[in-house]
Amino acid sequence: AQKVTQAQTEISVVEKEDVTLDCVYETRDTTYYLFWYKQPPSGELVFLIRRNSFDEQNEISGRYSWNFQKSTSSFNFTITASQVVDSAVYFCALSEILNYGGSQGNLIFGKGTKLSVKP
């Protein structure tokens, strides 16, 4: 069975601090996608990243970076120099890859980590 665990329920930091959100997953599939979404207080889900299980390279996008380690089944997310606008709930998610075309199935979500960044 597939499962995503986000052990940190809530994190509170002061602006400009770095913060890492942990994500551990379980799957029997050899190929899969991993995702991170942001849900601000307004409620919409904002896509941040999708990573293919074949690609273990870390990724950096501005202040955001992701560390994918297949050996530990982890896909952690780091925000550098956090800002108040980063305050949101962050979800890690997993989906299977359905076919050679790369189509994905439904997402299995973790419980989310609520990040509060204080000025």
Partner 1 sequence: SAVISQKPSRDICQRGTSLTIQCQVDSQVTMMFWYRQQPGQSLTLIATANQGSEATYESGFVIDKFPISRPNLTFSTLTVSNMSPEDSSIYLCSVAPPTDTQYFGPGTRLTVL
Contact residues for partner 1 (CB under 8 A)?
35, 37, 43-45, 47, 50, 91, 95, 101-107, 109-112
Nearer to partner 1, 69 or 103 (CB): 103
Write out the DSSP string of 42-81.
T---EEEEEEETT----EEETTEEEEEEGGGTEEEEEESS
- Closest approach, Cβ 112 to partner 1, in A, equals 5
Question: Least distance from C-beta 111 to partner 1, angstroms?
Answer: 5
Closer residue to partner 1, CB minimum distance, 34 or 79: 34
Three-state DSSP at 2 gives: coil
